[in-house]
Amino acid sequence: QVQLVESGGGSVQAGGSLRLSCATSRYTGSPYCMGWFRQAPGKEREGVAHIDSDGSLTYGESVNGRFTISRDNAENTLFLQMNLLKPEDTAMYYCAADVGWVCPFVPRPTDFAYWGQGTQVTVSS
């Protein structure tokens, strides 16, 4: 079992920045795939950014160039640096992880066994 706890959400004006963190309960081992999804009211959960044990990074088209995913292996913590935030980035952000494989080309929510409780990000115009 891997427990995930997100933090760092909040409210910010458009153009601002936030940094999300996801602490894992234990070392995930390798291979692994971890990342962030988000879900706005009335919309499907969508992939934001992912990283795997091979060092591969993937970003959703709408956040590419603005968001950066990283991982501190020593602290077993995943980060999402979000810059140039837009109102359309408003959503609940979820950390997700799975072990035993690297990320597929397009990670989907059904690919992940472990989820955090989510942290709310609200961007005002």
The pLDDT of residue 100 is 85
**Is the CB of residue 71 less than 8 Å from the CB of residue 96?**
no
In this prediction, the residues of the chain whose per-residue pLDDT falls under 70 are 28
The pLDDT of residue 26 is 74
The pLDDT of residue 37 is 98
CA distance 34 to 121: 19
Residue recorded with tokens 């929510």:
109
